[in-house]
């Protein structure tokens, strides 16, 4: 894996959290994007080589809503950038890690993504992401 591409943080309301993180990080939110397939609105901030992704649920029953209902707001996932997402998925699957999707999905910010089930990663939701090219 190349680096931590971003940290995903679950929030109740982007409208409140965007200005909060703009103050905290001292940098403007550079992008917001709705990912309909995931039932989520996202907002991105650059922090050096990495990013922060805020995630807000767009509907009841979406994974982010379930996460917030269970654990409250907070760190939701760690995303690692990979060179070749399909090769990395194969490698991890062969080692016994459970992939949440069998083929790469379209994620926010022009990425192909795949999530690993937290039960095989010490409770941490891991996202693999590769820039679309
Ligand atoms: Zn993410």
How far, in Å, is the centroid of ligand 1 from the Cα of 52? 9
How far, in Å, is the centroid of ligand 1 from the Cα of 94? 23
pLDDT in tens, 8-45: 999 999 999 999 999 999 999 999 999 888 899 999 99
Determine contact, residues 96/32, Cβ cutoff 8 Å: no
| E runs forming strands in the chain | 3-10, 31-35, 40-47, 50-57, 74-81, 105-107, 111-116, 126-131
Task: Identify which of 34, 79, 41, 37 has the alpha carbon closest to the alpha carbon of residue 57.
Answer: 41
How far, in Å, is the centroid of ligand 1 from the Cα of 101? 14
pLDDT in tens, 65-84: 999 999 999 999 999 999 99
How far, in Å, is the centroid of ligand 1 from the Cα of 24? 20
What are the tokens at 124? 């941490």
- Residue-level pLDDT at 38: 86
Predicted structure pTM score: 0.93
Q: What is the mean pLDDT of residues 90-108?
A: 95
How far, in Å, is the centroid of ligand 1 from the Cα of 95? 23
């Amino acid at each position: 894996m190349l680096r931590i591409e971003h940290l995903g943080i679950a929030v109740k309301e982007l409208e409140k959290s965007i200005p909060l993180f703009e103050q905290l990080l001292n940098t403007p939110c550079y992008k917001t994007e709705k990912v309909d397939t995931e039932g989520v609105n996202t907002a991105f901030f650059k922090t050096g080589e990495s990013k922060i992704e805020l995630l807000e649920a767009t509907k009841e029953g979406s994974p982010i809503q379930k996460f917030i209902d269970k654990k409250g707001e907070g760190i939701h996932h760690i995303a690692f950038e990979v060179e070749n997402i399909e090769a990395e998925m194969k490698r991890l699957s062969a080692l016994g890690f459970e992939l949440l999707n069998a083929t790469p999905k379209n994620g926010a910010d022009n990425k192909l993504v795949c999530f690993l089930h937290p039960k095989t990663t010490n409770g941490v939701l891991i996202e693999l992401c590769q820039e679309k090219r």
